[in-house]
Structure formats: C-alpha cells, structure tokens
Structure 1
Amino acid sequence: MDAHVNGSPATVPDSPATSAAAHIRDGLGLTGTKIACGTGVCGACTVLVDGSPTVSCLLPADRLTGRDVTTVEGLGGDHPVQRAFAAHDGLQCGFCTPGFVVEASVFVDAWRAEHGDTRPDRERIADALAGHLCRCGAYEGIFAAVAAACAGEFDGEPDRDPPRVDALDKVTGRARYSGDHAPPGTWEGVIVRSPLPHARVRAVHAADPATPLVDLLPPDRTVRYVGQPIAAVAAPTAEAARSAAAAVAVAYEPRPAVAGVDAARAPDAPLVHPTRTDRSGAPSYGEAPTPPAPWTGNVRGPGTLSWRGPTAVRRLRAAAEAGDPLLVAQEYTTATQVHTPLEPHVCVAHWSGDGLRLFASTQSVSRLADRVAARWGLDRDRVHVVTEHVGGGFGAKNGISVDIEAAVELSRAAGAPVRVAFTRAEELTDAGHRPGTRTRVALLADRDGGLAAMSVDSHGDGGVSVGSTTATLAFLMYGRAPRRVRDFDVVTNRPPGMPMRGPGGPPMAWALEQAVDEMARRLDEDPLALRLRWDGNPKRRALYERAARTPLWRERPRGPRTGRFRRGVGVAASNWLYLFGPRAQVELVVRGGELVARAATQDLGTGIRTVLSDTVAERLGLPAGGVRVEIGDSSSVHGTGSYGSRTTPSMGPAAADAADRLRAALRELDPGVPAQGPIDEHVLKEALAAAEGLSVVGGRGRDRWGALTPEMSGDLAIGRGMSGAVHVMEVEVDTLLGRVRPTRCWAGIAAGRIYSERTARNQCEGAVVQGVGYALFEERRHDPRTGAILTDDLEDYRIPGMGDVPETEVHFHQEGFEHVPGGGVGLGEVSVVGVAAALGNAVFDATGWRPRELPLRPDRLIEGIR
C-alpha cells in the first residue's frame, strides 16, 4: 500500500500495530518527526495529513494509505515560518521544533489568507499552538517568530544569519539526535522493571532461552522502588522486544516498604538502607559530592553549616518566647518536579572489532567515554561516544544511565547494534527528579530593621536518594548575620532524584524569599528596599536598583484588592555558585581552507555551539559564520560537561585561547596576518590555504584570584564570586476559580559578560517558564501504599504550554566577573532559582494570603483566601 510523503510515493505497512510516527522515522528515514510523549500531548510528532496537522504517534501507519503526508523535511527549509523560527531563536534543544514548525506553517498560511500581512496577538498564537510543548521554554521566541511570519517579514531570505548556528538544522529536521542514528539491522531493547516497592530478586529468566537478556540488578539483588530496572531484553523489532519483556519471569522475595516520608520517620519503620554499606551507596541527587552525615533510621542528617550558630539559636528562641513581632517563623513545602526532557533517555550501542560505539543522549561526552572505558575494561581509544544533538537534559543525563548500560550489554549479547529508549512513563518514573522539600525558616529583625538571626531547616524527599542542599544555599544569602542551617534527607521506597537545574535553589528561594517578604510587611518597608539593605552582594544590589526603576515595579497596585480578578506583583532574589571545568579545551583545525572548532562538549540548547563560533570569529575578526563547529564526539579534545552552569565559562575562554594560538601559528606562515585585530578576508583565505592541516589546542586559563576549590571529580571547580538574579513577577488571580495567571516578568541576571546575547536571553526566558511550571502545575504523585508513580504521562504530569507563561523581559548586569577568563559565568541555574518565589509573593500581594505549598493549585488557593 502506498501514500505520498513529501511529494513522493512511499510504502505503508498494512498492519495497524506500527504507528505512523514510527514508520515515518524508521521505515522512511524521516527522523525530523520526533516521538516524545507517545500519547498525542506534546505535538513533537506533528505531520500534515492531507494538509491537516496530525499527531502521528497516535495514528496507525496503515491509515496513511492513499493520503498526502508532509513532514518537516517536506517544508523545504524556505517556508517563512522556518526562517522566522531561526531568526527569532524560537528554539533551544530543537527536539520539539519540527512539530511546532509544521503546525505553525498551517496557521501562518491560513492567517495570512484571511487577514493579510497582519500580526496576530499573543493569545491567538498561544491558542493555535496549544497542542505543543517545549520543555526548554523557548516560547518567547516562538511568539515573536509566528507573529513576524504572519506579518510577511520572512517571505524572502533574511538579511542576517540566525543568532544560533545550528538553528537551520533544527527548523528543517536535519538535526539528528541519538535515537536517529540507529543503523539498519538495529535491534530494540526493552527494560524489565520491578512492580514491587521492596524485594529481593531470587531469579530472572527469559521465556525463550534464545532471547538476549542482561541483568541490571545491584550486587545485593534488591529492588527498592516500583520501576527499578531488573533486566533488559532485545529483539529485532520493537514489538518483539516488548513481547519478550512481558514474558520475562522474575522470582521475588517481598520485603516491607515505606512509600511516604511520614511512614519512613516512624520509629518502627522498615529501613530503606539498613546497613552502613547500603547507606554509603545511596544514590545522590546533588551536583557536588555528598558530604558525610549521621543516620537515624530513614533520616539522614543533619548536615550543618553555622556562622555564630549558637548566637542565632539563642536569639531566635528568646524572640519566640517573647512573642516578638519581628520574628518570622514559617514552614514551606514543595512537590517533586520531574526533569522530563522531551528527548527521552536513549542510547544506540554497537560492539565491533574496533571496540564500542555509542550514540547516547548525554550531557557529558568526554566523561561518559571515560566511565564507559573503565566500566567495560576498554582502552579509552576503543570507546567512541557520539552525541550530535541532545533534546534537553536539565541535569538528568549524566553518567552511565540504565539505557546506556542496557544497550551496551544487549549489543554484546545480541551481536548487533541495539537501541534502548525510555518511554515517557519510564522518563517520568525513573529518569530523575527535583526532590520535594519541607523547609522551616526563622528570621529575626532588630529594632533598626537589620537581620539579627537566621535559621533554616530543610528535609529533602528524594526517594531512595540523598543529597539535600536547600538549607545550605540559604546560608549564602543576606550577609553575615548569625545563622544556622541544617539539611536532612528522609529516604523512602520511591525512585531516586537527580540534580535538576539549580538543585536545592528553587525550594530554598520559595521558603526564604517569602519569609523576607513577610518581614518587609511587618517592618512596613518596600520589599526591594529591604533586600537592598540586607544584601551585601554588589551585583544583586545593582539589580535591585534597576528593578525598582522598572514600570512593572513602580506602577504596581498598592493596598488591598477586591473583586474576582486581582493583580499582584512580587519579587525574589537568588544566587548561584560560579562553577567551571578547569580542563576544558578547544581545538582549531584548518580543513579544506575552512576553520573548524572541535571539542567533546555538548549543546543541550544552551547555545555553546554559538559561543564557540562567535568567540573564535570575534577574536580573529572573522565574519559571522566563518567558523564551523564540531562538538559531541569523544574523539575530540576534552570538553567539559554541559551541566552545573559551567559550559560557557569553561569552553568560551578555551575557544579564545585557541584563536590566539591559531593567530600566532598563522603569523609564522604568513607575516601579513596582523598580531591583533581583524584579519583581512583575502589575507585570511591565503593564510588558511597555506596552513592546511594546521591544528592548535587552547585551554581555559586560571582565574586571576584563583579558585575556591581544587579540581574535583568530573572536571569541576568552584570559582570566587557568585552570580545573582532578581525576578519581578506580575500575576492575575481569579479568586472564583482559584487560578493564577502570570502576565509579566522582569528577570535581572548578574552573570558577567554575556557571550551570545540572544541565546542567553532565551535560556533566561525558558527558566521563567520552568519556574512557572514548578510554582503552578508540576507535581509528581505516587500511590501512598506502594510508591508507584501515578503521574506517568504528560496529561497527568502537566508542564507549561504557550498559554501559561508571562511576557518576559530580561536584563543583564555584565559587571563583577572581571577576574574570570572571558569575564562571564554561567546563568542557566541562577535564572530559575527565584521564579516560583516571586510568583508566590505576587499572589500574596494580590490576595493577602500567603501560599506555603507548591504547586499553587486552585483548591489550595480557594481554601486559603476564604
């Protein structure tokens, strides 16, 4: 049976068992169509069927018979929408971009046919694209792109290159992600997971002895949560692999379990990690190594930091006993937030005579290759990791994840390449999350309104994992008043957490920044003015002063509000550590008269490809686009991992150093190359022609003031100075339905020099989107008896869409890091930390009710304002 796909005849399978999306991708090789949710919620798989946008993951492939199908590749790359998305940076990781582009092309064409070259408003665009999700949160660029395409601004070739060097690959579907690299003959792997929350596994058997099966259990043969991997099987087709997985027999010896933190705290509660070995091997959800702490049953901690701690405790107790009105003591909770990048965890592994080749969705190419070589006893040069593009990570894709382990072992057992990809249910269950928290804050002001004492106690709820830093991060805010902070973990038989964008930061700000706002109310002081008095950080002080001058703050409503719809404006401050990779390198190679920048780093949508290209071009005075970038290949020089807000401050200086070394090498070959400044295009062309094969390697230099720490494991160090942020959020509260609608946000970011302005702005806009999701929607729910995850699809676990987010203005304060090579530090994490807290303060401003629990659900708001 045939269909017409992108204008050409194409065979269609006659079985309904294969989805149209799977056939388009694997049968026809049109990998621009992405499978992200599998339930028709996210829109990544959208194609046109007889001109109508259709989610192809829900459509049986045999229903394509006799139909005209257009995928993103069929738009040709010159549709106004594609040009506009590239020009307005309406994308980040790019995994969702083809679906957005296909849908938007139909909307733009229909709008212009009816309305001419006019710009639709924001609400109309959001309505048209309501069936699409971008986990990176690139919605501001999408709004701008669609409006500009409707106005006819991109009917011809743009007069400038896109701000992102890989934009055209992503808007056309040419960008290839790890699952797109499965060669012909690739087998499919499926993971068998535990249905029990706690058990010892006595035996595992495949129904067919010929089925390749690998064991994924830990050495103690114990599972500790529903969904924990037990084994993996492989077969030549996905359908056969799923059948083989369903037929695997597992013999369990059930053990008592605790699914909730209250049950875990009980004196007679079953222990999740009963032995010292178990406790020392508990997985960590922190970014840095987890320091030792005592255990009491299922509670780990406290991990304590103190500055004149006894003084702080004594003052706070005395204030509580005296009923001091300038003592603010409040408790706040946050729910579990799941990373859920739209590209799921996926790996294609292939053993051969030359070694092991992996196409893996990873945030750390060099480190993964090192770990794989050590794990499987291979020489490093026999391990080849390729990660051409990554569809988001947010901290969830570091190390040897179970998809990688299963694919490697199954490939060896099957003697063929094997692809293992998580389903969305697996991604939402066992691919990492930001743990829930319960945090108690106590602040005491003196009679002059100064901060006299602070204490913060926070309990993390990370399932079987540990690593709370919520209270620790509060220690670093608001000067040097006496303070004591303590972090605890309560372990349960639920899946482990992992570091997620600013780990510990958003729950810290949710508690601390609302307590600071409450103190401002009691002191009858402007919340920005109070922060300016308390905060000695000069970078944040500059942001407070700038925020105070914004119309959003100056024109905010004052006094009590009445009526159904009430507007409020809130503010929150935040900080983040300055991290970098000391061993970062960039190689510049002259190849075919072209300049190529290479490194084994990765771009998750944050724009490091653009940073490398722009840095080298700027250093040498080259035109934009004069440098080709090749990253994501472990055979390149060492590239730092793309996590911890360290990629740009690591790789940018290395690229600048490589450019300087290249200039010096070219001058030795051609004295006409100037010692500094722009290189004449003709001179450069001749110099590169004479330097064919030339290679130089640049590295990241030392900070002028040195680092706070020596290099830690994983090419990581902490530098001197902290980035800062101030968020001002406006909301409209519907007091009848209990809904909160963020309308406008001002985001001030102090991270030093900005390497690539538009891609940096896009990151900060996306951080606001993720912060709004954390505040209003995202809440992983579990069965209270077994701990099984109930919100295991994108209908039940809601992330923000285009109609949920505010118009966002970003301001960069670019001073304060002159001691750092390149003058700038990371901004991806600090830009998300205070968003939810600013929204919470805005809700209080609108209603007079202080929200304490996240997410801020309608039922909680209605109950609170009664």
Structure 2
Amino acid sequence: MDTDVNGRRCPVPESGTAAEHLREGLGLTGAKVACGSGVCGACTVLVDGSPTASCLLPADRLAGRTVTTVEGLGGDHPVQRAFAGHDAMQCGFCTPGFVVAAAAFTDRWRAEHGDVPAGRAEIAEALSGHLCRCGAYEGIFSAVAAACAGEYDGEEQPAPPRPDAPDKAAGRARFTTDLGGTDTWEGVIVRSTEPHARVLKVAAGRARTEPGAGGPDEPVMVPLAVPDGVVRYVGQPVAAVAAPTAEAAHRAAGQVQVDYDPLPAVIGSEEARRPGAPQLYPTAEERDGAPAYGEAPTPPAPWNGNVRGPGVVSRRGATAVDRLRRAHRTEDPLLVAQEYTTAAQVHSALEPHAALARWEQDGSLSLEVSTQTVRKVVAKAAAHWGLEPAQVHVRAGHVGGGFGAKQGLTTDVLAAGELARVAGTAVRVRLSRSEELIDGGHRPGTRTKVALLADRRGRLRAMAVDSEGDGGVSVGSNVAALGALMYGKTPRRLRDFDVVTNRPPGAPMRAPGGPPLAWALEQAVDTMAERLREDPLTLRRRWDGNPKRRALYRTVADLPLWRDRPRGARTGRFRRGVGLAASTWMYMLAPQARVELRVVDGAVVARSATQDIGTGIRGVVGSTVADRLGAPAAWVHVEIGDSDAVHGTGAFGSRSTPSMGPAAAQAADRLRAALRERVPELPASGPVDEHTLKEALTAAEGVSVVGERRTDRWGQLTPSMAEDLAVGRGLSGAVHVMEVEVDTLLGRVRPTRCWAGLGVGRVYSERMARNQVEGAVVQGVGYALFEERRHDPVTGTVLSDDLEDYRLPGPGDVPETRVHFHQEGFEHVPGSGVGLGEVCAVGVAAAVGNAVHDATGWRPHALPVRPDRLLEGLR
C-alpha cells in the first residue's frame, strides 16, 4: 500500500523507520533524528492528524495513512509565523518537531476555545514530549499563546529578529546531518571496549584500507590515531568504517577486530589519588599530551601521580591562609568552611557532532561540518592532511547547537576526511545519541572547598578556594582561579587540581569553571549572611565593587520577587523559597573579526566566515548593517559559515557579537562612504530616502568593502592569542534571583520564577539576547536538578547514554523567566557591549541552591539536587 505524505501518494518501504523513509527516501529532512528513542520530539510528524515520533514508528505502519511533515504545513501556518516572530528558537534543530506538535495543539485549541491564548500549563502539557537543548522555551510559550489568540493569522508580519527563523520554522534549514546524496557513504566509528589498554593490532575484517582497491561498494576502514598507542577509556575512537549505507557500515564495523593488551585502570577519583595507583600518564611526554577541557591554553602545573596541580592564583595568599588558620584555631563563628560537589553535565546538542567530507579532483578537501569554529577547522585540517589552508573549504550553514563541544578537528571530522580519502567518494559521519552522551564532551564534575572569613563589621577578610576537577582523561580545571574575579581585593589563595581517571574527556561548556565556582562560593556567601544575621543582598552589596552588579543589586532590592519573598521558617508539604546568586565573566573578543559587504543586484550581501550555532549572529550582522546604512532589513542578505569568506570569529568565549557587530558597523560605514562618492546627496549618517539609497546601490554595483573590529579605547588586557582570542578590559556582571517550590514529601524541587539581571553594556538585539539568557536559565536548572552522567564503577563505561537515563529539562520543568539588561559600563568598547552567553549561565544553579535552603533550611552541597538527597537532608 501507499501512504499520503503532504498530499502526495508515496510507496511505503517494508523495513526501516518512518523517519528514515521520510528523510532518506523522500528528502523531507524537516523531521530531525536527535535521540532515536522517542524522547526529544525532534522527529515529530502528524500521522492521521496526531503528533507521532517518527523515529520509533516502523515505516510499514504508514501504509494507508495520511502523513504531514513540517514541510507540509507550507511555511505559513500561524504557528510557523509565530515561532519566527517570537524568536521561539535558537539553533533551530528541534524547531520543526515543536512546530508540528504546536500546530496540532493550536488548531485543536482554537476549534474548542476560539481565539483565546492558551495558558503556560496547557502549552507545556501539549509539548511535554519535546526537548530544546538551547532552552528556547519562553519564546515557544509566547509563540504558541499568540498563535492560539489569532495574532498571526494575517499575511503582513514584522520582520523576525532572526532572519533564518522562517526557514527553521518551515523545515527548510539544512543542517549537516541533513546533507548527503546518492553518492555519499555513511561512516561509523569503532570505539574501545577497554578502559585502559595498549592497542596491539587493528584488523579491518572484510573492509579495504587503501584507495582504489576492491569493488566499488566494498566497505573501507581507517585506523584513527591513538596517542601513545594506548586507549584510556571505554568509548575512545580506535578506527572508522564507511560503506554505501548505514546498515552496511555498522555491519562492517562489527567485523573490525581490535587486539588489546589490557592495563590496570583507575575509574574513580579516590582510587586515582591513592599512593601506588596505576598512572594514566607515567611519562612527562604523555602528561604534556593530556587533552585539555578549557577554552584558553592550560597553564603548566606539577604532577603527582594522577593528580595535576596545584595551579595557584594568589592575592596576598599567605595573609589569607594565616587569617583562616587563626580563625580555625579560635573557632571563629564568622569562618565559613564548606565543601561542594557537582556532577558531570553533558553538552548533548540535539544535532550531534557531524561532518561530511569530499576530496576534490584537484586535491583539495571540502568539509560540511556542524562546528562552532569554521576557521579553526580549516587550520587544523590543513595541518593534519598536509594541505595549504586555501585547499580546505569548510562550510557550516546551520549548526544545531554546540555549547563549547564542537571546536576544531573533532573525531567526526577526522574520521570523515580519512574515510573519504580511501573510499574515493563523499563520506558522512554522524555520532549517535549514545556516542554524543559518551564521548561528545561534558562539563567535568568538581569537588570544591571554599573558606570565607568576615570580621564583626561584616567585611570580608580572607578567602580560599581549593577545587578538584574530574574530567576523566583530560585536565584544565580553572574553578578556583575564577575566584579572583569576585568580591573585591581581599586576600585570597586559589588552588586548582585535576585528578585523571580512565573515563572520557571533558570539553569547555558555557563559562567553563564558572557554574561550579558559583555553586560553592555563592552558597558560602549566603551562609555567611546567616552567620552575620543580615540579608544576603545587603552582604553582597557591601563586598562587591563591580559597578555592573551594584546597579543590578539596586534593581533587585526593589524587585517584588525578592522584596516580598517569604521570611522565617516554612512548614507544610509545599514550601516556597527565594534565593539569589551573583556572578561575573571576563570580556573576550576576537581582534581579527572581519565582515565583507558587496553590492549585488541593488542589494547588500554581507559575508564572513563566522558561524551561527543559535546565538543569532546572522541577525546581529544583518541588523547592524541595515541600521548603519539606513536600509530596509530586506535589502541586506547575510552569508556566513563559509571559510572562503573573510575571517570570522569562532562561536565561543562570548566573543561573537562584540567582535562581529563592530566589524559589521565599520563595513557599513565604509560602504556608505563609497556610496556617497557616487551619489553625493546620500547623507553621511542617519535615515536615508529609499529611492536615494536604491539609486546609490545601483550605481555601486559590484563595490566591495571590508570592515574590521576596531581596537578598544583602553586597549586589551592580554595580547591576541592563538585562534584569534584576547581578553579585554572590564568584567561583565550578573545576578539571578530564583523562586522554587519544594515538595517535602516527594523531594522534588520545582523552579517557578526567575529574574535574570545582566550587566553587559549595549545589547544589539534585545529579543535574541533575552533568548540566550532564558536558555542559560534552562540549562542551569538542568545542571541544578536533573543532569548527571553516570558510569560503571569498574570499567568506567557511561551508563546514562540515552535521553531517558540522562534527563534534560523540558517545557514543564522551567521557571517563568524575566530578563533585565543594565546597558552601561562598556563605553570604551566598539559597539559599547560585550558577550553574554557565559555570564548568564554562571549563577543559575547557585540561585537554585540558595532558594532550596531558603525554603527548607537544608543546605544542598551536591549537584544535582536529587529527591533522595533532599529527603535525606530533611530528616
């Protein structure tokens, strides 16, 4: 039998899933496969009008039924327009699934209720089977409510803040996992089954290992580099296999034989610290080659067995230690000394790591990559394959999230390139969700000891932070070091350690080191406020000299959420509490950022080799150019994610907007000057008559200018480092205020409201900036309450390797969030603003912890705040 797909009769295959049939057979790639287990909702389609997870549905079950995919909604359904208008997305990978389910809900709601907005609870229930890792739920709630109210029934709608939003909402945006063709082979990575072993031999089975040998459809295999010839965790890449189909590739991968010589393994930190424990890196050369999970270069530190460190940051450290020791000896009640732990948080972007590689006839290499760093991939790939950078062409059209884990020559890119060289055809490598959760990157777990000493007048007299990173085989803890950025110039000693174990490596994740420091430090500050018997906000205002946060504290003082919070001990099953946390982050920039503007057919094309992972840099560049030129937004077309364009910054370190925005502004000013040479009546600044501007653009056909990011008025704090990174002068600031409801019977914590205040200077696009902050709150709630990567204590095998066992927060788990921007303090910066993607993530979990304590009187010390821990603490 056939099936009706978007009004077209189509044959039904006898095997495979509905998602595979729609995507590979019919080319309807709007249905995204992100989890493969029906948890995330990204693959949702309508089957006979009902939202259905197509990744679980056998394809033959479509026979005789009607299927509507996101493409079948036509792009003009009110929900699709509302999603674009309310910026109800970030990377957009999950958006088609949300749209399909939301369209069905909206149509049903309006039939039953008329043009009445649905409530937050009803929308959350309808979309409960969907996940957005970026955390764009606030926009989704607003969009669906507006569509239910009929606000998007008309044809004319304002331009969305995100220019690619209509394509994402319609399923037209093509991600790396969507690319391929009949000549594209599928690649699979073969991974270690041993936690620690010497690799003796890798046998290819029936696959060939050299170009040109064997039949045209015979699978190929390549070994992947194993440092020192030693695997150090279960899941470490060892080899890769490719074949014309995924089924054939998996079959060939199963035939690869790897011979190991097992070595003693250490799985837990306690075990790794013991005297005489087996060493992961016994030689200095091996220690120098240990992978790092930070974004900045890892400074040198001593090793003692499996323990690296301490890396020390000190400001009158001897004075701090002396005061703290004396306070300990005298049992000073104003000495707060506590220990806090955090679990590993996995990045798990819904589009997994993915790459498609093709070697061209001229010997150049073309790569389609889901990456945060187009230019870095070029440099790394050229060095690896012995090419000139001009011979490597990298594209990242749409990227389905990253959060720090998709940087450089990741395993998927390396495997795709090697396999394509041997296969003689294009090869695509996509990590499965299990691979993503095992080896796709994670924020390392930590154990942090913090000590604070105050005097009787409530002044901070000393601080010490010792933090131990648990990044598996990787190193790079900077948790304690970040304590140098908070609470003035009081004497302090800050020490960072790493304990290496036979578990997968970490990777930088939104504000690396920041959330675990805030989890410990901000709860210790609240404890000190209790000891001093004063308001936690009052204490922070006394200790904190950061002018941005001081402005935010003034706002918090008048905030009803804080001012009217409950006071005193609470009773009953459900208890409400409110907590706050302060945070900071460095101002980073990319000094080499460039934007090229070219006049083409009477419009302006803006090009740069930067990439958009959901942060909205397309919109920032486009709106900046349009505003400076005085042009309608529709006259500016932005093309990014192509390495052939001028240099663009990587999307990490909160540097994209404060780097690309000023470069776009300068390019627009230079183009305007070039237009005035042709049409002198064009004003030098301000609004422009559209007829005059069109005349000038027509006269300037083919004109091209390049804008760069100008130097800050006060210069940079650091010189420009590798990968186009520098630290500027000034620190951003943030304050989060969180309200929670604690169920003391079941041990559950439900965040209900959050206020997020950001001091980052000028905000380029307020709606997209709010979206970033709201998403950080969602990820912080996940860090605080749900997310915990678990492993087998004997082998180190990751056990939480699907989205049922590794829980991400869904629409019903997150608080209603308000965002406030303090837009002063960075006037010395071109564009007057700095990045916010890191600072808005730092304090969320700590605010949850302080709110839980406020509600219950119990202080959580371990993340996540699981029900069993809470109930144990309340006994």
TM-score where L is the length of structure 1:
0.99
Deviation at 1:115, TM superposition (A): 1.3
Does residue 333 of structure 1 match 2:331? no
Identity %: 71
Deviation at 1:64, TM superposition (A): 1.7
Alignment of 1:182-221 (within 5 A): 182-210=180-208, 211-221=219-229
After superposition, what is the alpha-carbon deviation per residue over 1:611-652, rounded to whole angstroms, capped at 9, x for unaligned? 001111111112233311000000000000011100000000
After superposition, what is the alpha-carbon deviation per residue over 1:751-792, rounded to whole angstroms, capped at 9, x for unaligned? 100000000000000000000000000000000001000000
Does residue 595 of structure 1 match 2:593? no
After superposition, what is the alpha-carbon deviation per residue over 1:75-107, rounded to whole angstroms, capped at 9, x for unaligned? 001111111111111111000000000001111
Deviation at 1:31, TM superposition (A): 1.1
Match for 1:371 among 380, 392, 410? Answer: 380
Match for 1:259 among 261, 267, 278? Answer: 267
Q: Which residue of 2 aligns with 1:641?
A: 650
Match for 2:583 among 549, 563, 574? Answer: 574
Match for 1:41 among 24, 39, 42? Answer: 39
C-alpha distance in 1, partners of 2:350/2:688?
42
Deviation at 1:672, TM superposition (A): 2.0
Match for 2:48 among 23, 47, 50? Answer: 50
C-alpha distance in 1, partners of 2:107/2:841?
36
Match for 1:770 among 759, 766, 779? Answer: 779
Does residue 780 of structure 1 match 2:778? no
C-alpha distance in 1, partners of 2:92/2:236?
30
Does residue 147 of structure 1 match 2:155? no
Give the counterpart letter for 2:291 in structure 1. Answer: P
Contact 1:179-1:359 within 8 A present in 2 as well? no
Alignment of 1:274-673 (within 5 A): 274-354=282-362, 355-673=364-682
Deviation at 1:804, TM superposition (A): 0.3
Contact 1:104-1:129 within 8 A present in 2 as well? yes
Q: Unaligned 5+ residue runs, structure 2?
A: 209-218
Deviation at 1:379, TM superposition (A): 2.1
C-alpha distance in 1, partners of 2:38/2:622?
37
After superposition, what is the alpha-carbon deviation per residue over 1:136-171, rounded to whole angstroms, capped at 9, x for unaligned? 000000011111111111111243111211110100
Give the secondary structure class of the aligned counterpart of 1:368. Answer: helix
Deviation at 1:527, TM superposition (A): 0.6
C-alpha distance in 1, partners of 2:493/2:390?
49
Farther-moved stretch of structure 1 (126-135 vs 21-30): 21-30
Give the secondary structure class of the aligned counterpart of 1:625. Answer: helix
Deviation at 1:681, TM superposition (A): 0.6
Does residue 807 of structure 1 match 2:816? yes
C-alpha distance in 1, partners of 2:161/2:193?
47
Give the secondary structure class of the aligned counterpart of 2:375. Answer: helix
Provide the aligned C-alpha RMSD in A. 0.9
Give the counterpart letter for 1:317 in structure 2. Answer: R
Q: Which residue of 2 aligns with 1:242?
A: 250
Deviation at 1:22, TM superposition (A): 1.5
Alignment of 1:712-723 (within 5 A): 712-723=721-732
Contact 2:85-2:159 within 8 A present in 1 as well? yes
Give the secondary structure class of the aligned counterpart of 1:220. Answer: helix
After superposition, what is the alpha-carbon deviation per residue over 1:795-835, rounded to whole angstroms, capped at 9, x for unaligned? 00001000000000000000000000000000000001000
C-alpha distance in 2, partners of 1:717/1:85?
36
Farther-moved stretch of structure 1 (225-234 vs 203-212): 203-212
Contact 2:523-2:850 within 8 A present in 1 as well? yes
Q: Which residue of 1 aligns with 2:4?
A: 4
C-alpha distance in 2, partners of 1:219/1:808?
46
Q: Which residue of 1 aligns with 2:167?
A: 169
After superposition, what is the alpha-carbon deviation per residue over 1:498-552, rounded to whole angstroms, capped at 9, x for unaligned? 0000000000000000000000111111111110100011111000111111110
Deviation at 1:209, TM superposition (A): 4.0
Deviation at 1:570, TM superposition (A): 0.1
Deviation at 1:247, TM superposition (A): 1.0
TM-score where L is the length of structure 2:
0.98
Give the secondary structure class of the aligned counterpart of 1:765. Answer: helix
After superposition, what is the alpha-carbon deviation per residue over 1:217-257, rounded to whole angstroms, capped at 9, x for unaligned? 32421100000000000000000000000111111111000
C-alpha distance in 2, partners of 1:285/1:79?
43
Deviation at 1:59, TM superposition (A): 1.2
Farther-moved stretch of structure 1 (670-679 vs 595-604): 670-679
Give the secondary structure class of the aligned counterpart of 2:635. Answer: coil
Q: Which residue of 2 aligns with 1:24?
A: 22
Match for 1:852 among 836, 861, 866? Answer: 861
C-alpha distance in 2, partners of 1:633/1:836?
37
Give the secondary structure class of the aligned counterpart of 1:69. Answer: strand
Contact 2:228-2:286 within 8 A present in 1 as well? no
C-alpha distance in 2, partners of 1:109/1:115?
10
C-alpha distance in 2, partners of 1:785/1:374?
38
Farther-moved stretch of structure 1 (240-249 vs 677-686): 677-686
After superposition, what is the alpha-carbon deviation per residue over 1:337-379, rounded to whole angstroms, capped at 9, x for unaligned? 0000000000010111131111100001122112211211122
Give the counterpart letter for 1:806 in structure 2. Answer: P
Give the counterpart letter for 1:498 in structure 2. Answer: A
Contact 1:83-1:158 within 8 A present in 2 as well? no
Contact 2:311-2:496 within 8 A present in 1 as well? yes
After superposition, what is the alpha-carbon deviation per residue over 1:48-77, rounded to whole angstroms, capped at 9, x for unaligned? 111111111111222222221111000001
Match for 2:798 among 785, 789, 794? Answer: 789
Q: Which residue of 2 aligns with 1:72?
A: 70
Deviation at 1:172, TM superposition (A): 0.2
Contact 1:190-1:420 within 8 A present in 2 as well? yes
C-alpha distance in 2, partners of 1:180/1:741?
37
Deviation at 1:687, TM superposition (A): 1.1
C-alpha distance in 2, partners of 1:159/1:779?
42
Alignment of 1:741-760 (within 5 A): 741-760=750-769
Farther-moved stretch of structure 1 (726-735 vs 354-363): 354-363
Q: Which residue of 1 aligns with 2:127?
A: 129
Contact 1:586-1:599 within 8 A present in 2 as well? yes
Farther-moved stretch of structure 1 (732-741 vs 624-633): 624-633
Give the counterpart letter for 2:98 in structure 1. Answer: F
C-alpha distance in 2, partners of 1:117/1:326?
59
Name the count of aligned residue pairs.
864
C-alpha distance in 2, partners of 1:372/1:731?
47
C-alpha distance in 2, partners of 1:51/1:159?
27
C-alpha distance in 1, partners of 2:818/2:489?
32
Give the counterpart letter for 2:160 in structure 1. Answer: P
Farther-moved stretch of structure 1 (792-801 vs 682-691): 682-691
Contact 1:613-1:625 within 8 A present in 2 as well? no
Q: Which residue of 1 aligns with 2:704?
A: 695
Give the secondary structure class of the aligned counterpart of 2:415. Answer: helix
C-alpha distance in 2, partners of 1:302/1:714?
27
Q: Which residue of 1 aligns with 2:835?
A: 826
C-alpha distance in 2, partners of 1:209/1:529?
68
Deviation at 1:446, TM superposition (A): 0.9
Give the secondary structure class of the aligned counterpart of 1:253. Answer: strand
Q: Which residue of 1 aligns with 2:214?
A: none
Match for 1:683 among 676, 679, 692? Answer: 692
